[in-house]
């Protein structure tokens, strides 16, 4: 008889195994929150001021607000059509939501979780970035090939920057206040000076760049190139 073998017919051992796995897996999975049937949950942003999580629902045209202290839904906020990207502005305590099919950005006051205003932007907005160095929100408009720059103090448009076909995601370099935007159809990463909103470089990368991220340790920017199956590394000091 193999004494190391655990018999599942022994009820004490079965209870022990159940408790063991509950303890182990309970460290990783706390709970699951059901948003709504067919809501198309697509984007998240966390507000450290109120410890609320804002969840954009692409198919139901709203944002679900979750209280992270109790992991419960506290409200739902209507947006434009097909909300797809979120950004949090820590200076004015607002959440910005890009509405793809409405060509707009909804601004939400996180004190009362009500809509402050809706800002018309370019065609098919798909990505947002808040820059804490200048308190501006950058919105990439896929079909109009430009970036809308929103003033976080007034929630009005400061300027629009043409960058080329199909701008995608952003990265912010906090050492030099440069904004990097992957522009998919021209295979470039466009670099914008956050001090004056002017393009200072067009960096060739691989085929179909999509995501960019800044590494604060090495001061390098990484670009994923979807169709080239590669990652381009950009020196943040020299671009």
Q: How far apart are CA 128 and CA 112, in angstroms?
A: 22
Mean pLDDT by 10 residues, the chain (239 residues): 49 61 59 90 97 98 97 97 98 98 98 98 98 98 98 98 98 98 98 98 98 98 98 97
Residue 102 is predicted with a pLDDT of 98
Residue 20 lies in a domain: no
DSSP, collapsed to helix, strand or coil, labels residue 184 as helix
- Listed in sequence order, the residues at least 6 apart from 44 whose beta carbon sits closer than 8 Å to its beta carbon are 53, 54, 55, 56, 86
Examine the domain organization and report whether 152 and 216 are in the same domain. Answer: no
Examine the domain organization and report whether 171 and 201 are in the same domain. Answer: yes
**Residue 133 is encoded by which pair of tokens?**
């160095």
Examine the domain organization and report whether 127 and 206 are in the same domain. Answer: no
Residue 11 lies in a domain: no
CA-only gyration radius of the chain, Å: 22
Examine the domain organization and report whether 42 and 153 are in the same domain. Answer: yes
Examine the domain organization and report whether 217 and 99 are in the same domain. Answer: no
Residue 6 lies in a domain: no
What is the residue range of 135's domain? Answer: 36-162
Residue 138 is predicted with a pLDDT of 98
- Listed in sequence order, the residues at least 6 apart from 6 whose beta carbon sits closer than 8 Å to its beta carbon are 13, 17
Q: How far apart are CA 54 and CA 66, in angstroms?
A: 6
Residue 28 is predicted with a pLDDT of 60
Examine the domain organization and report whether 221 and 119 are in the same domain. Answer: no
Examine the domain organization and report whether 237 and 143 are in the same domain. Answer: no
Residue 66 lies in a domain: yes
Residue 103 lies in a domain: yes
Contact predicate 53/44, CB 8 Å: yes
Residue 4 lies in a domain: no
pTM of the model: 0.88
Residue 6 is predicted with a pLDDT of 46
**Sequence-distant contacts of 72-81: CB under 8 A, at least 24 apart:** 72/33, 73/33, 73/35, 74/113, 75/113, 77/106, 77/108, 77/113, 77/114, 77/115, 78/115, 79/106, 79/115, 80/104, 80/106, 80/118
Domain count, the chain: 2
Residue 103 belongs to domain with CATH number: 2.130.10.10
The full length of the chain comes to: 239
Residue 31 is predicted with a pLDDT of 85
- Residue 8 is classified by DSSP as T
Going along the chain, which residue ranges are E strands? Answer: 41-47, 52-57, 62-67, 72-78, 83-89, 94-99, 104-109, 114-120, 125-131, 136-141, 146-151, 156-162, 167-173, 178-183, 188-193, 198-204, 209-215, 220-225, 230-235
DSSP, collapsed to helix, strand or coil, labels residue 16 as helix
Examine the domain organization and report whether 150 and 124 are in the same domain. Answer: yes
Contact predicate 11/17, CB 8 Å: no
The residue out of 112, 136, 162 marking a domain boundary is 162
Residue 53 is predicted with a pLDDT of 98
Examine the domain organization and report whether 150 and 217 are in the same domain. Answer: no
Examine the domain organization and report whether 146 and 225 are in the same domain. Answer: no
Examine the domain organization and report whether 149 and 230 are in the same domain. Answer: no
Residue 3 is predicted with a pLDDT of 46
The residue out of 162, 186, 209 marking a domain boundary is 162
Helix extents (H) in 85-192 = none
Residue 12 lies in a domain: no
Residue 227 belongs to domain with CATH number: 2.40.10.500
Residue 135 is predicted with a pLDDT of 98
Examine the domain organization and report whether 157 and 208 are in the same domain. Answer: no
Residue 30 is predicted with a pLDDT of 73
Residue 23 lies in a domain: no
The residue out of 111, 143, 162 marking a domain boundary is 162
- Count of C-beta atoms within a 10 Å radius of residue 156: 10
Residue 219 is predicted with a pLDDT of 98
């Amino acid at each position: 008889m193999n004494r190391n073998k655990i018999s599942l017919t022994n009820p004490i051992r079965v209870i022990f195994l159940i408790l063991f796995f509950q303890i182990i897996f309970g460290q990783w999975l706390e709970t699951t929150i059901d948003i709504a049937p067919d809501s198309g949950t697509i984007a998240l942003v966390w507000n450290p001021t109120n410890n609320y999580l804002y969840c954009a629902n692409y198919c139901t045209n709203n944002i679900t607000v979750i209280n992270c202290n109790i992991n419960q839904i506290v409200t739902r906020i209507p947006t434009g059509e097909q909300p797809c990207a979120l950004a949090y502005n820590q200076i004015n305590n607002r959440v910005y939501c890009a509405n793809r099919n409405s060509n707009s950005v909804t601004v939400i006051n996180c004190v009362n979780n009500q809509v402050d205003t809706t800002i018309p932007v370019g065609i098919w907005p798909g990505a947002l970035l808040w820059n804490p160095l200048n308190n501006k929100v950058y919105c990439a408009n896929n079909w109009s090939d430009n970036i809308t720059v929103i003033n976080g103090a007034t929630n009005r448009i400061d300027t629009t920057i043409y960058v080329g076909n199909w701008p995608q995601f952003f990265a912010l370099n906090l050492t030099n206040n440069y904004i990097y935007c992957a522009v998919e159809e021209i295979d470039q990463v466009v670099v914008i000076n956050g001090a004056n909103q002017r393009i200072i470089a067009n960096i060739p990368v691989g085929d179909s760049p999509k995501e960019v991220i800044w590494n604060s340790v090495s001061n390098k920017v990484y670009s994923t190139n979807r169709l080239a199956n590669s990652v381009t590394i950009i020196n943040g000091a020299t671009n």
